[in-house]
Amino acid sequence: MRFSVVTTALDALNRTATTAIEAGQLNNPTPCTEWTVAQVIFHAAGDQHAWASTVGQGSLPSYNPFDPPHELDEGIENTLANAIQAATAAWAGVDSAESSLNTPLPPVPVLAAELAAAACALDAAVHAWDIAAATQQPTPLTAALAEQLLPAARATAEPLRGFAYAAALPEMPGDDSADALLRYLGRDPRWKP
């Protein structure tokens, strides 16, 4: 895939959401205070379908990603695998030199392809972090990945505050790039269930 940041973030989401979660953890609270682990996974899958249907071909999810279900008939692993497959296929057809790519973000409807890919990856990576924090897994959000995502966060977060992101938290001494990114998006990097 041309957009390695998308591949990295989708891999992190897949690993975190499907390989290390125990069944009893699906109802754990998450940094997304209204949602359980299962709901964050369904939300993240829905967001990837939205990106795929906007930048390439694909269909929107059968549910509202902003009112995610607790379970679906096809299950979490299949739901997420289908979303990742759709996103991967969609981004494979995008020209990285495209200067005006539509996004599924109403307040930020158009971005250059590289920035749009990073915004898509931002969604996947941050929700992978949410799931990891809620299930006490090691963080999949590395400082290197966070540095790649920060320009997209700066381009998209402000118009989405109060809806997709909380108010930014102040940076703290000793924060690395991942901590700084999470705080910018209104998440406490030290959050525990």
> What share of the chain has pLDDT > 70, as a percent?
99
How many structural domains are present in the chain? 1
Establish if 190 belongs to a structural domain.
Answer: no
Which residues face 161 on adjacent strands?
165
Establish if 168 belongs to a structural domain.
Answer: yes
Establish if 93 belongs to a structural domain.
Answer: yes
The pLDDT, as a whole number, for residue 148 is: 97
Establish if 191 belongs to a structural domain.
Answer: no
Non-local (6+) Cβ contacts of 34 within 8 A are none
Closest CA to 130 of 176, 68, 187, 49: 187
Establish if 193 belongs to a structural domain.
Answer: no
Establish if 56 belongs to a structural domain.
Answer: yes
Establish if 177 belongs to a structural domain.
Answer: yes
Q: What is the mean pLDDT of residues 143-153?
A: 97
Q: Please say if the pLDDT value at position 4 is more than 60.
A: yes
Q: What is the mean pLDDT of residues 38-66?
A: 94
Q: Domain residues for 32?
A: 4-184
- 152 near 122, Cβ under 8 Å? yes
pLDDT band of residue 78 (cuts 50, 70, 90) is very high
Q: Assign residue 132 the CATH number of its domain.
A: 1.20.120.450
Establish if 118 belongs to a structural domain.
Answer: yes
pLDDT band of residue 75 (cuts 50, 70, 90) is confident
Non-local (6+) Cβ contacts of 45 within 8 A are 61, 65, 79, 80, 82, 83, 84
Q: Please say if the pLDDT value at position 87 is more than 70.
A: yes
* Exposed e or buried b per residue across 22-60, where buried means at least 16 C-beta atoms within 10 angstroms of its C-beta: eeebbebebbbeebbbbbbbbbbbbbbbbbbbbbbebee
Q: Please say if the pLDDT value at position 1 is more than 60.
A: no
* Exposed e or buried b per residue across 153-167, where buried means at least 16 C-beta atoms within 10 angstroms of its C-beta: bebbbeeeeeebbbe
Which residues face 111 on adjacent strands?
101
Q: What is the mean pLDDT of residues 20-29?
A: 90
pLDDT band of residue 20 (cuts 50, 70, 90) is confident
pLDDT band of residue 80 (cuts 50, 70, 90) is very high
The pLDDT, as a whole number, for residue 73 is: 84
The pLDDT, as a whole number, for residue 14 is: 95
> Which tens digits make up the pLDDT trace of 128-141?
999 999 999 999 99
Q: What is the mean pLDDT of residues 30-44?
A: 95
Helix, strand, or coil (residue 25): helix
